[in-house]
Amino acid sequence: MDAATLTYDSLRYGEIEDFPETSEPVWILGKQFSALTEKDEILADVASRLWLTYRKNFQPIGGTGPTSDTGWGCMLRCGQMILGQALICRHLGRDWTWSPGQRQRAEYISILNAFIDKKDSYYSIHQIAQMGVGEGKSIGQWYGPNTVAQVLKKLAIFDSWSRLAVHVAMDNTVVIEEIKRLCMPWLDFDRGACAASEEPLEMNGDLEGACALAEEETALWKPLVLLIPLRLGLSDINEAYFEPLKQCFMMPQSLGVIGGKPNSAHYFIGFVGHELIYLDPHTTQPAVDPDEGGQFPDDSYHCQHPPCRMHICELDPSIAAVSNCRGLPMFELVESQPSHLITADVLNLTPDFSDSDRLERFFDSEDEEFEILSL
């Protein structure tokens, strides 16, 4: 068996470490818990996150490709988990909890079906692997987090139900002007001219044009998934960033962190003391096959035991932050794009892959191995 598949398989046989008996608060994706009095609530909250792991015996990727992602798909699975959390917040709310063995809401079934391992699911391993070819990654090749981010950004264009805007901030800088343009694209259209047009306008690759939006929808902010790659040290993370990093998990908008050491990615969802809490995709489970109604056993998509933990000092210093936290600033927030940054056309969400070489150069450095996202 590949050593990469042992993490949770081993833990199932009695090696699970429970949360420490500590008065320090436990923070998970913007919610605070007590390790002394709320362990059941902690486990229920962890179990309500989508746990997407290696799978085997699914349809061959591309028709003739691999039927398992064991050994190469951990970063892809972490990307799925972080986007899955975004969809849960979008359609069910942060306070939604998973109830095993009970009838689930239709929205939950739709979210889960978006990640099923088959070619026609929005965010399946098949879609991510094949879209990654446009980013210079062969099917079966290990991804860095920035490649996953760019692929998910492009796949999100086709998800007209969720209508998420995915943005990757560059050069440690969040440009407010770019966020507004991305999240309120209809403000660029003249509604009178649009109403007279016979052809639907295309908005950021979404073929539902501005004219198709109801009056009340035009005033809404398109839900945002924001990634801000950073480097918080040279070979090790600088201790000055410990607290600002932990504060990111305290934000109610937090979607967590994806990343890890080379060839080993994790999905970080919170912290207790100086330990980060994470879900590990490194176990191989059989692929599931939904029935005609999209129903299938979902127990294997939820972690029903205490999650893993690691000390914050073990982190690679390459991360990405989502807010101005107290302490040493981790990134810059500006109103408009500074002249030294690259042009905004790199951020275009239309499904045009002509910029893949530039995107690879800017976003897929192996020195940038963590992403923090928010919705």
Annotated catalytic residue, options 126, 167, 266, 282: 282
What is the torsional sign of CA 169, 272, 279, 51?
Answer: negative
Active site (annotated) includes residue 325: no
Locus of tokens 């492009």 = 154
Please report, for residues 26, 221, 370, the alpha-carbon distance to residue 310 in angstroms, rounded to integers and kept in the order given: 14, 36, 15
> Is 357 one of the annotated active-site residues of the chain?
no
Q: At residue 83, what is the residue type?
A: L
User: Which of 325, 322, 173, 172 minimizes the C-alpha distance to 242?
Assistant: 325
Structure tokens at 301: 């998509």
Active site annotation includes 74: yes
Annotated active-site residue in 117, 206, 280, 316? 280
Residues 6 or more apart from 111 whose CB is under 8 A from it? 50, 84, 87, 88, 91, 92
Instruction: Out of 45, 69, 74, 325, pick the active-site residue.
Output: 74
C-alpha span between 187 and 158 (Å, rounded):
21
Give CA–CA dist 64/214, Å, rounded.
Answer: 43
177 neighbors 335 (Cβ within 8 angstroms): yes
Catalytic residue ranges: 74, 280, 282
